[in-house]
Amino acid sequence: MKKTNTLVFLALIGAIAFASCSKDSTTTTQPNNNPTTSTTKENMSAKIEGAAFSRDTCIFYFQNAYDTTNALILDWPSFPASGPNYYPLIEMSIEDYHGIGTYTLYGNNYAELLNEHSLGGVGSYAEDGYVVVTAIYPYVVGTFHFTTAAGMAVTDGNFVAKRI
């Protein structure tokens, strides 16, 4: 009997010790089997002509609430919408959006690099490139690369976009 009580007591102590451990962040697997941690924050980064670019904000939304095939992904700097911290600005529009997949930038699927330090900056549209969406829940995650009509290369692009 004493041996049984000791085993029950040790099992109880072990269960309490195991249950009291905690993680710094929670990892879950989303419907697309991509692990996501609760510490994820929206962001966008790329190299523009080889120079590092990063923004700590990035949003994803449908341009029309009734049409879920026309999506927009962009880094969204803090307002006011001018000044040296506002530009460059990267915007990608995918008219034939259907979720996870690769989207070639042509026609109505486009990317734009706004690179002037003034309100309503001068943009340069992509002549070629792609956007790859790798996850859609709870954030839209992916990569991108394009070359603008002005010949500027935007490479090594990554985004984690907050759905709004």
pLDDT value, residue 108: 86
pLDDT value, residue 39: 55
CA distance 127 to 146: 7
* Confidence (pTM): 0.70
* 91 domain-assigned: yes
pLDDT value, residue 99: 94
State both tokens at 161: 């976009």
* 10 domain-assigned: no
* 82 domain-assigned: yes
pLDDT value, residue 13: 38
Span 19-33, pLDDT tens digits:
333 333 333 344 444
* 78 domain-assigned: yes
Prior bond to 35 cis, omega within 30? no
Beta partners for residue 142, in sequence order: 133, 159
Tell me which residue of 124, 115, 112, 113 sits closest to 149, measured CA to CA.
124
CA distance 58 to 158: 10
* 47 domain-assigned: yes
- Domain span including residue 144: 40-163
Give the number of domains in the chain.
1
pLDDT value, residue 114: 83
* 8 domain-assigned: no
* 159 domain-assigned: yes
Rounded to 5 degrees, φ, ψ at 93 are -120, 130
pLDDT value, residue 82: 55
* 24 domain-assigned: no
Question: Residues of the chain whose pLDDT is less than 70?
Answer: 1-40, 77-86, 116-122
